[in-house]
Amino acid sequence: MKLKYQVTRDPYRASETHLQGYVRIPVSTLIDHFGAPEYLNEETTAHWIIDFDDGTVATVHIHKPVEYGLAPCSVPLTVYRWHVGGKSHAAVFYVAHVLGVPPIIYRVPESDEDFADFCEEILGG
């Protein structure tokens, strides 16, 4: 199934979106699929807003890069865990499908064991 989408720079399309999950991928693959990113500020760098034909909106970005060991306004060139925002988990599933990678779904851990499993999944272990 090929999903149809368009990349927009309209910030209103991204309003009321929040973290839905992650994709682990190099920035070059994101650029190949979605074009050059928009650079917002030191807190949110390399930002894309993707409108899918069914009305699903997804954002892909680095949120607070300094907290993840990156310099302000920097973008990693190797595989990185990119934040995917949206209004539902469909956003991360769609982005992952377009990129050909497995989605990592954000969820609130219910136990220490669940938290450990989630950390392992995010870290790519």
Q: Higher-confidence residue: 113 or 108?
A: 113
Q: Structure pTM?
A: 0.80
**What secondary structure letter does DSSP report for 40?**
-
Q: Which domain holds residue 80?
A: 5-122
Give the pairing of strands 18-25 and 44-52.
unpaired
Going through the chain in order, the beta strands assigned E by DSSP cover 5-8, 18-25, 44-52, 57-63, 80-86, 104-105
Q: In what order do the strands lie in the sheet with 44-52?
A: 5-8, 44-52, 57-63, 80-86, 18-25, 104-105
Question: What is the number of domains present in the chain?
Answer: 1
Over residues 66-112, the pLDDT tens digits come to 666 666 666 777 888 899 999 999 999 999 999 999 998 887 656 67
Q: pLDDT tens digits for 19-65?
A: 999 999 998 999 999 998 887 666 667 789 999 999 999 999 887 66
